């Protein structure tokens, strides 16, 4: 089941983020940041346990970012990540967002969901503020992908 995050999910969200942040899969987020952006998060829950997370962050009037996508290792390659991204895309369409992007080391995953690779320089500089928190900064090897509606 996919649902919006609730206050009692914050520590589990941060636990998944902490698992993948050192590997460079997602950016680290403090507990305070998770609380600040709790309304961005969708969760995949099975048997009352959080299996996966994904956030849709609104950047501007026509632009949103898919971020903090993480699925427990034992549940990967089962379509959970794709379902979370699709749920975020559905929400972005309801909000009237025209473009959704992601910075990723797995661009093929996003391409299967209808995203296209773009040059990172085409994205607004505002998004690069988060890059300072990344373990890969300044030697970023991630690809930028965008889906337009």
pLDDT in tens, 21-59: 888 788 889 999 999 999 999 999 999 999 999 999 998
Return the exposure string of 56-94: e unless at least 16 CB atoms fall within 10 Å of the residue's CB, then b: bbebeeebbbbbbbbbbeeeeeeebbebbbebbbebbee
Cα four-point dihedral sign 30, 131, 26, 144: positive
Distance CA 132, CA 109 (A): 24
Asked if residue 125 has pLDDT above 70, the reply is no
Bigger pLDDT: 143 vs 134: 143
**Mean pLDDT of all residues belonging to the chain:** 91
Quick one: pLDDT band at residue 126, thresholds 50, 70, 90?
low
Distance CA 137, CA 34 (A): 21
- What integer pLDDT is reported at residue 69 of this predicted model? 97
Domains of the chain: 2-148 (3.40.630.30)
- Whole-model pTM? 0.92
């Amino acid at each position: 089941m996919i649902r919006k995050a609730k206050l009692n999910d914050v520590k589990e969200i941060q636990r998944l983020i902490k698992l993948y942040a050192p590997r460079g899969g997602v950016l680290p987020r403090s507990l305070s940041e998770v609380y600040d952006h709790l309304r961005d998060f969708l969760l995949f829950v099975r048997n009352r346990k959080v299996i996966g997370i994904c956030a849709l962050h609104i950047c501007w009037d026509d632009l949103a970012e898919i971020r903090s996508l993480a699925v427990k290792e034992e549940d990967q390659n089962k379509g959970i990540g794709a379902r979370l991204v699709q749920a975020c895309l559905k929400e972005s369409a309801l909000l009237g967002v025209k473009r959704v992007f992601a910075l990723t080391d797995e661009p093929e995953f996003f391409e299967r969901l209808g995203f296209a690779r773009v040059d990172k320089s085409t994205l607004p500089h505002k998004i690069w503020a988060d890059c300072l928190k990344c373990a890969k900064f300044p030697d970023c090897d991630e690809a930028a992908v965008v889906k337009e509606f």
